[in-house]
Chain A
Amino acid sequence: MKHTSIFFLYVAQYMKTRLTYRVDMLMEIMSDLLFQAVNLIFILVVFGHTNMLSGWSKDEIIFIYGFFLVPFAIFGAFFNIWDFNERYIVKGEMDRILTRPVHSLFQIILERMELESLFGVLTGIAVMIYAGSRLDLGLSWYDPIVFLFMVLGGAFVYAGIFILLASISFWSDSRTSIMPMMYNIGNYGRYPVDIYNKVIRFVLTWILPFAFVGVYPSAYFLGREEWYGYAFLTPVMGAVFFGFAIFMWNIGVTKYRGAGN
C-alpha cells in the first residue's frame, strides 16, 4: 500500500516536470515514434527484395517487431537505469537513497522513470494488430492473459540484465560502456534467432536472453509450434533473471562504500 501511494506521488511529480516543456516532450514522443518507424521501414524495404527470411514471412517479422516494442516500452519506462553508475555511484547520490526507508532499487526506479516511453506499448499493439490481421491470426479467450505474461516476462528479462549490470558498479565504479553495448545486443532479439550462428543463438537464449523479448514469445502467437517450448519459458526466464538481479543488487548494496564528499 505504502509503495503504491509513493509510486503515484512520483508519477504526479514527474508529470509536472515534464509538462513544463510541452513542445520538447512532444518532440521526444515524436522522435520515439520516428525511431520505431525507422525499424519498420527497414523491414519493409528489405522485404522489397526477398520473400522469406530463413522461413519467416514479412508479416511475421513485423509481428515480432511489434511484440518486441511492448516489453521494451515497459522496460524503457521503468528500468532504464543505464546512467546508474555515473549518477548514483560517482556523484554519491546513493547516500541519499540509502537514508530513506524504502528499498533502494524501488526509489531509483521511481526517480529515473520515463513514462513517455509507454507510448511504445500502443505502437507495438498497433503493429501487431496490423501484422496479425494480414496473417489471419485467431485469438482465443486466454490469449490476452498469455500476452500479459509474455510481455511481463520479456520486460523482466530486460530489467534483470540491466539491473545486474548496474549492480556491477557497487564493486567497481570505473566507467564502462557495457550499457550501450547491451542496447545493441538487445537488437539481435528482434529478428528470428535462426538467422544467427549457433554461438550467438546460445548466448541470446541462455546468457543474455534477449530472444525471450521478441522471437520466442511471438512464436506462440504466430502458431509456430516448433518454438512453443521456448515461448512458454518466457515468464520463467523473466522471473529467474529478475529475481537473480534483485538478489545481486541486495548483496551489492551492502558493499557500497560511498564516493561523495
Chain B
Amino acid sequence: MGKYLEMIRVRFLMMLAYRTNYYSGILIYSINIGAYYFLWNAIYGGKGEIEGLSVIQMTTYVAVAWMARAFYFNNIDREIAQEIKEGKVAVEFIRPYHYLLMKTMQGLGEGIFRLSFFSIPGMVIVSLVFPIEFSAAFSTWVFFMIAIILSFIVNTQINLLTGVMTFFFFNNDGLIRAKRVVIDLFSGLLLPISFYPGWAQNVMDFLPFQAISYIPSMIFTEGFTGSAVWEAILFQLVWAVILILPIQALWVIAKKRLIVQGG
C-alpha cells in the first residue's frame, strides 16, 4: 500500500514542477464553458426550463462538468500504449507491483493535482464571470465528492482497457482518439443524458459512460434529488466493479502473448 501512496505523491510533485502550464489550461476551459454558455442561452431562448433544468442550472452543469473533467481525465491510455510500443513494459512486468494499479495511482496523483490547482481556482474564476449556482446543502457536496471519485475510477478503467488493447493492435492511436470522442458525447460532458431521445437514453443505461460526467454534474446541480442520487451512485459503483473483469482478463491474455517491439 505504501508504495502506491508514494506513486501518487511523486506524480503530484512532478505535476507541481510544471504548474505554470496549467494557468493557461484554466483559460482554455473557461473559453469552452463560455462557448457553451452562450449556446445554451440561445437554445433556452425564453424557455424557463428544459428537461427539468433551468438556464442557471444548465450553466452550472456545463461549468462543473468541465471542471470535474480536469480531475477524472488522464492520459494513461496513451502512456501505456507508449510504454508498450517502446518495449518499456517488459521492465515493468518484473517490478514488484501491479503495472495497471501503478498507472491508476499515477493518474490519481495527476487528478488530485488538477483538482487543487485547476478545478477549484477555475471554478472560482468561472463563477465570477458566469451566473452559477452552488448548492448550500452539505449532503450535496458529500454525494458530489463520492460521485467524482467513482467517475475517476470508471474513466480510468476505460483508459486502462484501451491502453491494454495496444498489446493486440500494436498501434492504436486511432482507437484512443475514438474513445475520447465517444466519452465526450456519451458521458454527458457536452449534453446531459436526459436531453437525448428516449431510445438513446435506454441504450445508454446499459453503458458505463454516464457514470463519468453526467452523474456527478447532475448531483452538483441538484438535477438529481432524493433516491435518484442513491441510484446514480449505485450505478457508478456497479460499473466500477464490473469493469474490473475485462481488464483483468485482457491483462492475463496480454501477458501471455507479449511481443516487445524493440526497447
Q: Using CB atoms and an 8 Å cutoff, list the residues of chain A in contact with chain B.
A: 21, 23-28, 30-31, 34-35, 38, 41-42, 45-46, 48-50, 52-54, 175-178, 180-181, 184-185, 187-188, 191, 195-197, 200
Please give the distance in Å from A120's CB to the nearest CB on chain B.
Answer: 14
Q: Can you name 14 A-B pairs with beta carbons within 8 Å?
A: A21-B171, A26-B174, A27-B173, A30-B174, A41-B185, A46-B39, A49-B195, A50-B43, A52-B45, A54-B42, A176-B24, A177-B25, A178-B24, A196-B38
Residues in B whose Cβ lies below 8 Å from that of A52: 45
The answer to whether B190 has its CB under 8 Å from any CB of chain A is yes
Partner of B43, one of A34, A46, A181, A196: A46
A27 touching B174 in the complex, CB below 8 Å, given contacts A34-B181, A48-B195, A177-B24: yes
Interface size on B, residues (CB 8 A): 37
In the complex, which of the residues B32, B39, B51, B172 contacts A27, with contact meaning CB atoms closer than 8 Å? B172
- Among A53, A176, A177, residue most surrounded by chain B Cβ atoms (within 10 Å): A177
Contact with A along B154-184 (1 / 0, CB 8 A): 0000000000000001111111011001101
The residue from B35, B42, B197 contacting A53, defined by CB atoms under 8 A apart: B42
A197 and B38 within 8 A (CB): yes
B101 at the interface (CB under 8 A from A): no
Q: Is the CB of B24 within 8 A of A195?
A: no
A175–B23 alpha-carbon span in the complex (Å)? 13
Which residues of A are found within 8 Å of B39, using beta-carbon distances?
A: 46, 191, 195
Partner of A48, one of B21, B28, B182, B197: B197
Question: A45 with B195: in contact, given A35-B181, A181-B27, A181-B31 (CB under 8 Å)?
Answer: yes
Give bound CA distance, A27 to B173, whole Å.
8
Dominant secondary structure at the A interface: helix
Residue of B nearest to A188 (CB): B35
Are B191 and A24 in contact (CB-based, < 8 A)? no
Which B-chain residue is minimally distant from A34 (CB atoms)? Answer: B181
Please give, as numbers and ranges, the residues of chain A lying within 8 Å of B191 by CB-CB distance: 42, 45-46
A178 and B27 CA atoms in complex are apart in Å by: 10
Q: Are A24 and B24 closer than 8 Å at their CB atoms? A: no
A191 to B181, CA, bound (A): 20
A31 vs B183: C-alpha distance in the bound complex, in angstroms?
12
Q: Which of the residues A28, A41, A45, A200 comes within 8 Å of B177, measured between beta carbons?
A: A28
Provide the bound-state CA to CA distance between A180 and B191, in Å.
Answer: 22
Highest count of chain A CB atoms <10 Å: which of B32, B42, B171, B175: B42
Q: Is A53's CB under 8 angstroms from B43's CB?
A: yes
